[in-house]
Structure 1
């Protein structure tokens, strides 16, 4: 009897997860069809069949899952985290199909790496040379980052309310949107408003890029990955391909906007533009990026690496692209100073904190987030103050709000998990053949969904410098970083505990 109950519970969990994964797969199909039309209309590589077959396979898998699974009124925490994790994994596998069918990336593991890097809005690539691929396949790379920027699960919850089930727990488990601060009472309204902002920013960047003289294809392609702070480009030299300060200016503004909190943006467009000034996280976000830009420009200029004007240009662009976890590069033959992997050691050292921190909470950016860095800095300050004055009464505050002990513990726990995972990832990558600089920066870049790293994996290189086993490790780190650590680790723990329960039941028979 007990074994029968356990079997029913396992089916319920599988059914809930399968339904959400199926919805996520169905949402990919329009993007694949769009890429197919781009390939058909503007490319000579003739990869229409590969993209169409990928869309057909994804449609079939999604339809089967939605048809033969169901979603209960309430999802327990274990099911929520499992749905989030498996939706990303399933979408990554489906996203790899067009790459694999086209043959542009050779093996399936390379296609999967490109897809995972896209959906997690990381931007690390194993496609080389990029320009030789068909335009449809390259547009699909851009589209998957656009999907991943806002989050497949957030897209799915716009449908769940119409099916009579709730979705708030999915948004709070994984979303570059508000967590404790909802935009609307109903989760469907929150999701729609998030997507309205996201689409609006994408269109605005595309129009601005068209105004600089870019073609429609280039403007749309780079608008997708600017809004998602993903960093993929259909060119090997990324933004450096255009060697245009006007294009770089548009991209910088786009990255800064989308690396900031969407909650603040919604308040601003709803009639409260002062919300930006009232946010301490927003102020720190801008100050850190501007300070890093100024210091790197001065350090490089002081070592005669570049002239001051070029140093300012490259400092601002690279501090922004790393501070928002986007990962674009503006290095080119005419602007070699854009390659930050060739900067002075002091300038490179300033970039590492940006890679770890990332953008604001509630944005499309990756990293630990500025808010958590603020909390930890204040936490350490209070700790030191208590050591000096044991009887002092001091609280960690953000603005006028004092943070509770559980909140501080969760933030400290996540930071500790990040540091531990970065250490383990660095050690594993080093044992798999990479030097220490490339290994450590590669692990941090993957977990922060950054894209380029230092050493051999700099902005003018690609991740083919890592061995196949090392790239498998990097894929895992990308997913862990994008899903905020706790979701992935809780899924692993839940699966372990479920396996133990099943084993115990079998032993008692």
Structure 2
């Protein structure tokens, strides 16, 4: 059984790599256009394509995918894709070491946005474009590719979809997979194109910058062509446009789907309401801490951190202690379930609140029947247990990783915020990894720990931990 699972996983990963290689065409064309060295992108394309074909045809199998296969395929794909994405970072003119290149690539494909680059502008434009493109592919593009290029997965393919769109509600985008793929690409690409056009034509940002920022906004990634992030432009209109699309990217994609169907019922969902409430409270607290004169910075950073995009318009590490604590809390809460954002997700917070309320009512009236419902739909005890287990595991990983970083010499603020920013796929943290700084100075072991945190956070922990269970491999 183990051999069969490995064979199936390699076959599917190879098929994916074959199509992923085509992504290198975009920076290759950009390199030619800007008169930069295009050969590295051509070599990367050919190498990735060759290995993808070898894996696909060398491990061909007709065995149907099972749930356990879904865990294995998703977990190892998110390790292998960054591994093939490091090539433009390793070779000149970028010339990063392997660990730094892998950190940057993992940060991109997991849509984290943490960077080891001290001066982003030093990269060639083609490399900057590739950097943003990794986030666009990592956000929802990879899922759409899985659905589009692997139709033979049939019903079993929903296991892959579940790992990327975890959430307790059964209302997920799961009609026929081909239809779902087209829908995902349409919504995702549509938002990207719309933001790109608004930034370029309305906010008057340079075309190249508009493209890079848009490719990073919708996947809630956070990479920009400048070290100062969005603050580099000092453009209020651009900031408002980016705020809108960060907000949209942080919401459940089923909402966009329903709205496109001219149904506004999804906007009345309890998760969406709590999402709005948390943002409103966070913005109010930031204004209270920083003053009304900083309202734009407060609104921008609240949306940016909660959606786990990680863009910055100011050095929020210099804000008051209360304001910084609000931002750290938003890092842990994260965006809505079924969005491209990270964190523990608003839906889980909502479920925990409801469950706690039910327990309190039971404590007062032991004989009372207290059904747990969300959006008027019952939730099973099994789902609640899964959510509690996830939150416990999330906190445990965060604590252990923070302790490990502290033992490596990082101060407590830097250690905790770096883990929160990496595990929540946010990007910038506080202290030594604040929005105006980077992760380049960290010791090698610390970078490895944070790479693991990005990987775990993107795959919602369980998809990674499950591959270490013998039952998954043996069936």
TM range (shorter): over 0.9
Pick one of 249, 269, 278 that aligns with 1:279: 269
* Counterpart Cα distance in 1 of 2:414 and 2:358: 35
Give the alignment partner of residue 318 of structure 2, picking from 319, 325, 342: 342
Equivalent residue in structure 2 for 1:315, among 279, 282, 298: 298
Task: Name the structure, 1 or 2, with higher relative contact order (CA <8 Å, separation 6+).
Answer: 2
Aligned mates of 1:485, 1:497 — CA distance in 2: 18
Query: Are residue 452 (structure 1) and residue 428 (structure 2) matched?
Result: yes
Normalising to structure 2: TM-score of the pair? 0.95
- Aligned counterpart in structure 1 of residue 64 of structure 2, from 68, 74, 89: 74
Alpha carbons 1:339, 1:459 under 8 Å: kept: yes
Paired residue for 1:506? none
- Does residue 1:269 correspond to 2:269, yes or no? no
From 228, 241, 250, the counterpart of 1:250? 241
Match of 1:48 among 22, 38, 41: 38
Matched residues in 2 for 1:497 and 1:20: separation? Answer: 16
Judge conservation of contact 1:321–1:327 (CA < 8 Å) in 2.
yes
- Can you give the 5+ residue segments of structure 2 that lack an aligned partner in the other structure? none
Residue aligning to 1:335: none
Cα distance in 1 between the residues matched to 2:208 and 2:168: 32
**2-structure distance, mates of 1:226, 1:320:** 12
* Structure 2: distance between partners of 1:169 and 1:390: 39
Aligned Cα root-mean-square deviation (Å):
2.0
Runs of 5+ consecutive residues of structure 1 not aligned to the other structure: 1-8, 302-307, 331-337, 502-509
Instruction: Name which of 439, 445, 468 aligns with 1:492.
Output: 468
Q: Secondary structure at the match of 1:122?
A: coil
Tell me, in whole angstroms, the C-alpha distance in 2 between the residues paired with 1:455 and 1:151. Answer: 33
Cα distance in 1, alignment partners of residues 430 and 86 from structure 2: 26
Change over 3 Å in CA distance of 1:179–1:139 after alignment to 2: farther
| C-alpha distance 465-388 of structure 1, shift in aligned 2 (>3 A) | farther
Which piece of structure 1 moves more, 237-246 or 164-173?
A: 164-173
Equivalence for 2:368: 392
Q: Distance in 2 between matches of 1:15 and 1:233?
A: 39
CA contact (8 A) 2:113 2:425 kept: yes
1:395: Cα distance to partner?
2.7
Aligned to 1:304: none
Q: How does 1:414-429 map to 2 (within 5 A)?
A: 414-429=390-405
The answer to whether the 8 A contact 1:73-1:165 is kept is no
In 2: Cα distance, 1:163 partner to 1:109 partner: 34
Matched, 1:124 2:124: no
Give the whole-Å Cα distance in 1 for the aligned partners of 2:48 and 2:165. Answer: 23
1:179 deviates by 7.4
Query: Larger C-alpha radius of gyration, 1 or 2?
Result: 1
- Which 4+ runs in 1 deviate beyond 3 A? 162-166, 175-179, 494-498
Matched, 1:360 2:350: no
1:21-76 Cα distance to aligned partner (Å, 9 max, x none): 11222232222111111122125xx3312222111111111111111123545212
Cα 1:496–1:264, aligned 2, differ >3 Å: closer, same or farther?
closer
- Distance, in Å, in 2 between the alignment partners of 1:58 and 1:214 is 34
Q: TM-score, normalised by structure 1?
A: 0.89
Q: CA deviation at 1:178?
A: 10
Cα distance in 1 for partners of 2:355, 2:155 equals: 39
Structure 1 residue 106: Cα displacement: 2.1
Instruction: Tell me: CA distance 1:407–1:352, structure 2 relative to 1, closer, same or farther (3 Å).
Output: same
Instruction: Give the 3-state SS of the residue equivalent to 1:392 in structure 2.
Output: coil
Shift of 1:410: 0.4
Asked if the contact 2:289–2:323 (Cα under 8 Å) also holds between the matched residues in 1, the reply is yes
Q: Is 1:221 matched up with 2:204?
A: no
Q: Indicate the residue corresponding to 1:504 in structure 2.
A: none
